[in-house]
Structure 1
Amino acid sequence: MREQVWWKKWMKKFREIWYIIARNVFLLTNGIIALVVVLLLLFGDIESGIFLGLILVINMTLGLGQDIRAWYTLQRLQLLTAPRVVRVLPDGTEESALTEEIEKGDKLRLKTGDEIPCDGTLLTSQSLELNEGLITGESASFPRQAGDHILAGSIITAGSGFLMTDTVFEQSRIARMTEGIRDFSVNESPIQKAVNRVVRYSGYILMGVILFVVGRGFLTDASSVVIIKNIGALTSSLVPQGLVFALTLLFAYGATHLYKRNVLLQEVNATEKLGRIKNLCMDKTGTLTENKPIVERMEIPEGTTSEEAKKYASLYIGGSGDSSQTILALKEFVGNLHFSDEVVGTTSFSSWHSYGAVEILSSKGETNILLVGAGEYLVPHLTNESEKEWFADIEKREVTQGKRIICLLRAEADHLPENLSQSKLSFIAIFVLSSKLRPGIGEAIAFFQDRGVHIRIISGDHPETVRAVAKMAGVKHCDRVVTGMEMQSWVEKDFFERAREYSIFARTVPEQKEKIIEALKKDGFTAMVGDGANDALAIKKADLGIAMFDGAPATRQLASVVLMNNSFTALPGGVELSLSIIKNAEIFASLFFGTALSGLFFFLGVSLLGFSFPLTPLNITLINYFTVGFPGILVSYWTIWKVEKVSSPSMGRFLEKISPFIILSAVLQALVLLVIFLLSPESMKSEESNLWVILAWSGIGYIFFLFTPAFYRGSLSLTQRRDLVFLSFLEILFFIFIFQVPFLLRFFEISETSLVPGFFSWPIILLGIYGLLQYGMVFSLRKYPSIFSRGKFEEAK
């Protein structure tokens, strides 16, 4: 069985690598270029076919190597959050095991927050409750008893127990349901969606262009080799296929560097999504405050002694098996007390019924039913009105200061109640707990609110407690409060219409959290930060799920982002880097789209004037080096363009933001290229490759790269500016070097007969004019964005 598990593990990795190979090799542009290579060889242009084939293989190899490297890096990072469970060995010892290491017949110890790794049968259940929302889509949790069969993918929301597995994960129901989907389904980011759409439409345009070239070739009796080379050149210039690969590397870079800021990404495109947040939802405990509350004091009613209250509290703590931070705080307060009383039964605490209970049998044979939970759910069942007033006074005083109230009560019953409707309760004690605000939480909240992000607190605590803590943290609109009890009367329409009106959601249950997130997504990109098992489905539902590293394993596994230092304060740094990644993506997209569009407009121009496309595939290879290749190297060398300021999330779409600048720039570039082509010597106009156009397009592309970051408000350090000047000088030397080496001229299909004295003059003059015009365009678009974009230029989607 162990060998079978490892075989399946390696088969999974092989499929992932094969997917990477497929997305780098089996592309439209690669297919057409490969066909061009074959046709060139068949029609006798052996040298051009070999050189072009060599370029194709080099490009695919470099892309594949970088993509596999990025995949390997992310795989290593994701191992840090891989789900683990406790396996009980035959000798009774325990070990931590990965999901894929679990075998049929293993015994597992389960606790609150675990995700069931394999189908199996419960051996024991200590008030264990399961949520099967990942399998069935239902949000409710249900109790499970010993002997019940439970399914992999279920999340333990309360209690504990032991499980005997009867399958491995690959044979479980959820694995069969998601087979072929989990590994390769991609939750695309906004930029990825836009780029893939453009690449797809570019392919359609290319098909039309190819038909035009072939038809025109036959009508003008052009040679087959010329037609084939035109097709290859237009394929290389019109489809920005390399942008998809460039974005993958950019996001992978972001994931690697975000980890250095204690932000671990489990989806590579979460790099971008961090910068898209409009609604940021979070729990109070563990996010705004530290996840280690302390008990400030214990209040007891008349007739109860402090020793008696601590005794019953200790009995509940020992009998419940609850290891939550709240119970650990109570344990630290009452101390390690030991009694001979026997625990007969338990009802584990869960967010669905907001209390836990234990049934204790004393040494004298007396039965005590002890309950611990939130006052709102327990106090209505008190039989003593004076105790209700006593509780109300304490609650009113404490919750307005951000304190939590935990009640310990006794029920008059012979066994654990199934519900509280017929219960008669009396107070034993009230515990007042407090949690410190996380260091730096105020600055983190201010960072997001300054960007226009709406902070929303979704908590199970008392509304006044949540409001007080949120106010101390600096959350705006704390007066906009709604409770879970009020939301019980809401229908689906109410959630979509009213959820956006509130900043504080108190006393909520998990299914309400899920509905709130679903409704807020209609209002804008929504992120959810949480750590408990009751946050799992809300995190899965959000546009971006964010979990704490020390949180529930199931919650951590479902999240796209994991905060390795368990602090919300790590997010601002992640968002700043994400915004820089978005700016870099805009720069990359502008370079690729601008080159493709200028190529299309130039092709249309020369075609309307009755000329053939004056470049070959190898000419385009040289041009692409200066227009998208070398700029990409520069961005990689500098690691990232910094951003002048942290901006607010925009409602504008990615393409709407970049299109005006790209289109105007492409028109300008195509006009300059067309003028240079028309001014070139008559002998060049009839050649397969026009030297003036090659020179001009290479220069235009590099000038465009220099001005593009300025338009997107990228900024360079003084060192980077010096590097830019130095590298630009090297580029000029490299270009001159090409024209001095006969082999390189032949390789890039540049005719030596075109190298006559003064052949640089006109192209250089027009490049200077183009540079001035491009600078003027960038300056105008930055100073008066509304003229060109209806006000949508300033921010990134």
Structure 2
Amino acid sequence: MAERVARGEVNDVPVRSSRSLADIVRANVFTRFNAIIGVLFLIILVVGPIQDGLFGFVIIANTAIGIVQELRAKRTLDSLAVVGEARPTVRRDGKPVPVATHEIVLGDVIELGPGDKCVVDGEVVEADGLEIDESLLTGEADPVLKRPGDAVMSGSFVVAGSGAHTATKVGREAYAARLAEEASRFTLVHSELRTGISRILKYVTWMMLPAAIGLVASQLFVQRHDWREAVRRMVAGIVPMVPEGLVLLTSVAFAIGVVRLGRRQCLVQELPAIEGLARVDVVCLDKTGTLTEGGMDVAELRLLPRAPVEDEQARQVLGALGEADPRPNPSLQAVIDAFPARPGWRCTQALPFSSARKYSGAALNGPDGESGTWLLGAPDVLLPEGDGALAEAEDLGAKGMRVLLLARAPYDLDDPRATQDLQPTALVVLAQRLRSDAAQTLRYFAEQDVAAKVISGDNAVSVGAVAAQLGLPGADGPVDARRLPADRDRMAGVLDRATVFGRVTPRQKRDMVGALQARGHTVAMTGDGVNDVLALKDADIGVAMGSGSEATRAVAQIVLLNNGFDALPSVVAEGRRVIGNITRVATLFLTKTAYSVLLAILVVATRVPYPFLPRHLTLLSTLTIGVPAFFLALAPNKERARPHFVRRVMRYAVPSGLIAGLATFAAYLLARAHYSGPGSLQAQTSAATLTLFLISLWVLAIIARPWTWWRVALVVAMGVGFLAVLAVPWLQHFFALKLVGTVMPWAAVAIATAAAVVLELTWRWIGRRFPA
């Protein structure tokens, strides 16, 4: 093995859960708007004074905060990824040894069982009913039966049987070597929120160049300012148009969400999953492993009236069936625990359980020389309608029990008639263990208007009984998925009406998710078994249990490492907090953009000096947007995220910006008429700044609703900060702000008050005219 490692014949594909340090720094530093702000900052450094370049230091601080927060998220993701990392079983020196994926070398023999993902390309050397699903690679959902000599592709997974394959291609040479890396990489793309913000920033970029040209020309040629003053006023008009902190806050909110969820042992494999969960209105739950614990107990063995064997022999057959399957599922494991294998039994042919068949089987030779073929599986699959044993099984299922049928078959396992003319022998009654956290979690979803749909491969009546015990509304009308219409629209209609579905095949789970999405629903799917993989992959958000199969963990966006179903409300709440709060603060940022564009247009049109210096708008942005936005972005928020982010934000931001810009310009023109003479521009600017601050503070007060003590304290603290600037002499000098007289300051207050009233009426009208 050492020689192969030395030759580089090792599976060295890096499986990273997060971006590298260089990627994080590059993504936070080299942005379009950091470049714009950086150039404007350098210009101010040339023309001076330094206090007009405060916005540059704010950008540096914001970028540093973004890097630090994302590094925190990276450490969390990396540590959680190690916990959830798959460890394939490899034969070394004749012994099975679990190893890390990157430790596999060319020629290793890798064992395979249900739920295992093939991590390298290989050739099958052993196969015992080995069925592999290659749908993630080929799109074909039917599992492929593999025999010795057949090829195995990385990225496929085992759905039934067991076997082993030799690694023939490792590392980047493997067919789908990048799948695992891409599945768990920290990403900041493909989300409506970030796409919407990017679109807004693109529009702002288009507006900035003509505004800059108009402003500098107006100040230089019309107002006859010297070039330094003209450049300062131009920078003052351009800088506030850039909602630079909005991108930062989005990244920080996502990163902090990752850290918070990491503390609850939730591995977020794709960052936009936080946003996606906030938009979820339907969650599809697999019963086993989600509503019930993985393990089960045999409660009773009921010998049927026309059984071909006695009770003792039935127990021995069950023990032999359990021994014939090297990778038993939870149901068969309960049978193995209750009926240990007896000596003298020999298996000549085995058929592993699969979710599509709903049964397993084996050809057995008993100690007395008697041979026979036996099946163990779902009674409603193996028995015809009207059979007395089937009615008895359904009665037990209605009580929440899981029931398996043991039956003798007259045909071989590979015969197409294998399930015909069976001799029902016994019913194996299994007691399912309900998860202690399931009922509370289902109540949470109901309170949050998230529809829960239980989609299971088990008997519909049994699933309905379990759901009813947990208090799920609509559990009393379970639907057998074998009777679901194939047409997507008709299927969606049934899905909207019903809550519990049983006997669902893996392909049907996928179709059901697609039908719900076609109706406009945002669908989350939870699961832990290989029968859930296709649905998890197609759902808007896939949530896998940490103890689930490797295949489910690979395709899911979120992995609950401690298998805690009760963590889902926290995940949903975190998503709602992030999206709801970013929507709030986006309105703050874009209100500033709107009034800045309007002021630039009015200044150029009326040929007056631009009323502000960069330091004034830096102060206003810090007190009414920057500092409050950080607090508001991290506050609790339970409101479900809604679509059309850009439209909803602009609906409020544009009118607010127009009102603020018009009121501020009116106060500025009034101040120009009131103050005259040398040095009057500072008094005019101070009056305009007071007006704009008060209006912006009221916009903040509206967005901070519903008011709590800390939100009120935040708004008051920002007001006190501005008063301190007006009251402290050295701050007055630093920010070039000084209110002169009493008439104009009170006039500014009156104009701001009138604007606040108009703002209130406008927001209320928009809320009624365009309800959420």
Q: Same fold (TM over 0.5)?
A: yes
**Residues 1:82 and 2:85 are matched in the alignment:** yes
Aligned position for 1:70: 73
* Number of equivalent positions: 760
Aligned position for 1:787: 768
Is the 8 Å Cα contact of residues 70 and 255 (structure 2) preserved in structure 1?
no
Is the 8 Å Cα contact of residues 405 and 433 (structure 1) preserved in structure 2?
yes
Is the 8 Å Cα contact of residues 739 and 745 (structure 2) preserved in structure 1?
no
Aligned position for 1:795: none
Aligned mates of 1:50, 1:193 — CA distance in 2: 30
Aligned position for 1:715: 708
Aligned position for 2:258: 255
Cα displacement (A) at 1:490: 1.4
Is the 8 Å Cα contact of residues 88 and 110 (structure 2) preserved in structure 1?
yes
Aligned position for 2:350: 346
Is the 8 Å Cα contact of residues 28 and 203 (structure 1) preserved in structure 2?
no
Aligned mates of 1:86, 1:453 — CA distance in 2: 40
Structure 2 residue matching 1:174: 3-state secondary structure: coil
Aligned position for 1:119: 121
Cα displacement (A) at 1:701: 3.7
Deviations 1:466-517 (A, max 9, x none): 2222233233334655433224x61455445654344333211111111110
**Residues 1:405 and 2:403 are matched in the alignment:** yes
1:127-206 pair list within 5 angstroms: 127-175=129-177, 183=185, 188-206=190-208
Cα displacement (A) at 1:55: 5.7
Is the 8 Å Cα contact of residues 36 and 228 (structure 1) preserved in structure 2?
no
Aligned position for 1:770: 752
Deviations 1:302-352 (A, max 9, x none): 453221111000000001123211111112222x23212222222111111
Structure 1 residue matching 2:417: 3-state secondary structure: coil
**Residues 1:434 and 2:434 are matched in the alignment:** no
**Residues 1:642 and 2:636 are matched in the alignment:** yes
Structure 1 residue matching 2:95: 3-state secondary structure: coil
Deviates more, 1:288-297 or 1:569-578: 569-578
Deviations 1:391-437 (A, max 9, x none): 13312321222222201122224x43243367542223211123143
Is the 8 Å Cα contact of residues 589 and 625 (structure 2) preserved in structure 1?
yes
Is the 8 Å Cα contact of residues 516 and 523 (structure 2) preserved in structure 1?
yes
Q: Which amino acid is the alignment partner of residue 316 of structure 1?
A: L
Aligned mates of 1:429, 1:141 — CA distance in 2: 30
**Residues 1:690 and 2:685 are matched in the alignment:** yes
Cα displacement (A) at 1:761: 7.1
Deviates more, 1:214-223 or 1:338-347: 214-223
Cα displacement (A) at 1:76: 2.9
Aligned mates of 2:680, 2:295 — CA distance in 1: 77
Q: Which amino acid is the alignment partner of residue 328 of structure 1?
A: Q
Is the 8 Å Cα contact of residues 668 and 687 (structure 2) preserved in structure 1?
yes
2:730 to 740, 743, 752: 740
Is the 8 Å Cα contact of residues 13 and 171 (structure 2) preserved in structure 1?
no
1:30 to 30, 34, 44: 34
Q: Which amino acid is the alignment partner of residue 377 of structure 1?
A: V
Aligned position for 2:111: 109
2:670 to 679, 686, 691: 679
Cα displacement (A) at 1:631: 1.4
User: TM-score if structure 2 supplies the norm length?
Assistant: 0.88
Aligned position for 2:512: 516
Is the 8 Å Cα contact of residues 113 and 533 (structure 1) preserved in structure 2?
yes
Deviates more, 1:571-580 or 1:139-148: 571-580
Cα displacement (A) at 1:460: 0.9
Is the 8 Å Cα contact of residues 276 and 575 (structure 2) preserved in structure 1?
yes
Aligned position for 1:292: 295
Structure 1 residue matching 2:436: 3-state secondary structure: coil
Structure 1 residue matching 2:295: 3-state secondary structure: coil
Structure 1 residue matching 2:293: 3-state secondary structure: coil
Is the 8 Å Cα contact of residues 616 and 689 (structure 2) preserved in structure 1?
yes
Aligned mates of 1:158, 1:441 — CA distance in 2: 29
Is the 8 Å Cα contact of residues 240 and 593 (structure 2) preserved in structure 1?
yes
Is the 8 Å Cα contact of residues 19 and 186 (structure 2) preserved in structure 1?
no
Change (3 A) 1:63 1:421: closer
Deviates more, 1:48-57 or 1:605-614: 48-57
**Residues 1:360 and 2:364 are matched in the alignment:** yes
Aligned mates of 1:310, 1:227 — CA distance in 2: 94
Aligned mates of 1:172, 1:93 — CA distance in 2: 23
Aligned position for 2:311: 306
Aligned mates of 2:418, 2:266 — CA distance in 1: 46
Q: Which amino acid is the alignment partner of residue 502 of structure 2?
A: A
Cα displacement (A) at 1:684: 6.3
Q: Which amino acid is the alignment partner of residue 625 of structure 1?
A: T
Superposition CA RMSD, Å: 3.7
Structure 2 residue matching 1:292: 3-state secondary structure: strand
Aligned mates of 2:746, 2:20 — CA distance in 1: 48
2:394 to 389, 393, 396: 396
1:402-551 pair list within 5 angstroms: 402-413=400-411, 415-420=412-417, 423-478=420-475, 481-487=478-484, 490-492=486-488, 494-495=490-491, 499-523=495-519, 524-551=521-548
Structure 1 residue matching 2:115: 3-state secondary structure: coil
Cα displacement (A) at 1:222: 6.3
Aligned mates of 2:459, 2:243 — CA distance in 1: 54
Cα displacement (A) at 1:548: 1.4
Change (3 A) 1:193 1:14: closer
**Residues 1:268 and 2:271 are matched in the alignment:** yes
Aligned mates of 2:11, 2:151 — CA distance in 1: 28
User: TM-score if structure 1 supplies the norm length?
Assistant: 0.85
Structure 1 residue matching 2:383: 3-state secondary structure: helix
Change (3 A) 1:774 1:691: closer
Listed as ranges, the gaps of 5+ residues in structure 2 are none
Listed as ranges, the gaps of 5+ residues in structure 1 are 793-797
Is the 8 Å Cα contact of residues 495 and 519 (structure 1) preserved in structure 2?
yes
Aligned mates of 2:730, 2:107 — CA distance in 1: 73
Deviations 1:645-687 (A, max 9, x none): x55x476633444444333332332233213322334456767
Structure 2 residue matching 1:740: 3-state secondary structure: helix
Is the 8 Å Cα contact of residues 69 and 255 (structure 2) preserved in structure 1?
no
Cα displacement (A) at 1:15: 6.7
Q: Which amino acid is the alignment partner of residue 380 of structure 2?
A: E
Q: Which amino acid is the alignment partner of residue 740 of structure 1?
A: W
Structure 1 residue matching 2:284: 3-state secondary structure: strand
Cα displacement (A) at 1:115: 1.5
Aligned position for 2:324: 319
Is the 8 Å Cα contact of residues 90 and 111 (structure 2) preserved in structure 1?
yes
Deviates more, 1:141-150 or 1:365-374: 365-374
Aligned mates of 2:54, 2:643 — CA distance in 1: 44
Q: Which amino acid is the alignment partner of residue 397 of structure 1?
A: D
